[in-house]
């Protein structure tokens, strides 16, 4: 469950454009217009990061389409702003919350690919969680996002987040506790065998 929050943070911070030469996958876009678009995405990214650090959910949600689709790392799908707000409250605000604090650093693999009024962005993230049980972990994630332009504003329409299921800190914790469980179970079995053996020998001695 904790890994999925990493998906919410990525959703709220993905609009980032790398510095350098702007490019437009759709024909006809003037370079100056494309560069202005990427500058707008850079400004939006900064606003999203500031809002996340201040836990300003209203400001974060203002950058999403009303019917935004978000797929978390555990294949949970949330559709719409209300569903995402509920998810955030469940993970970070509710009585059964699992996260006390989160900070994230997001990187893009390339400039957002532009197709008219639609954009495609993807990259990586490094998410630092402090959980309510005191656990302190860093998760490396991957994300892909679809953006749409409505008037002069870019909004997030869909986002998918994932991590390496074969190599991540949560898996290592499971392996660690699994090793402890096996050791305890083995010790318990040996102890039980010793006790049963002694009882059997005593019964034979008194027979």
Q: Do 126 and 174 fall within a single domain?
A: no
pLDDT tens for each residue of 159-170: 998 887 666 555
Range of the domain at 136: 2-166
Q: Do 125 and 56 fall within a single domain?
A: yes
Q: Do 160 and 178 fall within a single domain?
A: no
Query: What is the value of pTM for the model shown?
Result: 0.68
Q: Do 18 and 63 fall within a single domain?
A: yes
Q: Do 18 and 117 fall within a single domain?
A: yes
Q: Do 96 and 179 fall within a single domain?
A: no
Q: Is 10 left (phi over 0), alpha (psi -120 to 50) or beta?
A: alpha
pLDDT tens for each residue of 143-160: 898 999 998 899 999 999
Q: Do 42 and 97 fall within a single domain?
A: yes
Mean pLDDT score across all residues of the chain: 74
Most confident of the following: 30-39, 122-131, 188-197: 122-131
Q: What is the DSSP letter of 56?
A: -
Q: Do 101 and 10 fall within a single domain?
A: yes
User: Which is nearest to 108 in space by CA: 23, 42, 39, 31?
Assistant: 42
List all residues 6 or more positions away from 87 whose beta carbon is below 8 Å from its beta carbon. Answer: 8, 70, 72, 78
Please report the sign of the dihedral spanned by the C-alpha atoms of residue 116, residue 117, residue 122, residue 125. Answer: positive
Tally of structural domains, the chain:
2
Q: Do 42 and 140 fall within a single domain?
A: yes
Q: Do 94 and 181 fall within a single domain?
A: no
Q: Do 37 and 83 fall within a single domain?
A: yes
pLDDT tens for each residue of 60-104: 999 999 999 999 877 889 999 999 999 889 888 888 888 888 887
CATH (domain of 32) = 3.10.450.50
Q: Per-residue pLDDT for 32 more than 80?
A: no
Q: Do 160 and 82 fall within a single domain?
A: yes
Q: What is the separation, in whole angstroms, between the first and last Cα of the chain?
A: 58
State the pLDDT at residue 179: 42
């Amino acid at each position: 469950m904790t890994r999925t929050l990493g998906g919410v943070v990525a959703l709220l911070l993905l609009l980032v454009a790398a510095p350098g030469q702007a490019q437009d996958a759709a024909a006809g876009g003037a370079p100056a217009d494309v560069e202005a678009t990427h500058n707008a995405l850079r400004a939006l990214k900064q606003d999203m990061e500031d809002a996340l650090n201040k836990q300003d959910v209203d400001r974060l949600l203002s950058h999403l389409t009303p019917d935004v689709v978000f797929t978390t790392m555990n294949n949970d799908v949330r559709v719409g702003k209300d569903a995402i707000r509920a998810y955030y409250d469940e993970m970070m605000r509710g009585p059964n919350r699992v996260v006390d604090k989160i900070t994230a650093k997001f990187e893009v693999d390339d400039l957002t690919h532009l197709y008219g009024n639609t954009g495609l962005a993807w990259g990586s993230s490094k998410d630092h969680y402090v959980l309510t049980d005191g656990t302190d972990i860093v998760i490396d994630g991957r994300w892909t996002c679809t953006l749409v332009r409505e008037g002069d504003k870019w909004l997030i329409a869909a986002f998918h987040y994932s991590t390496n299921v074969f190599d991540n800190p949560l898996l290592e914790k499971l392996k660690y506790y699994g090793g402890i469980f096996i050791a305890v179970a083995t010790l318990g079995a040996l102890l039980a065998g010793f006790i049963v053996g002694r009882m059997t020998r005593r019964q034979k001695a008194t027979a």
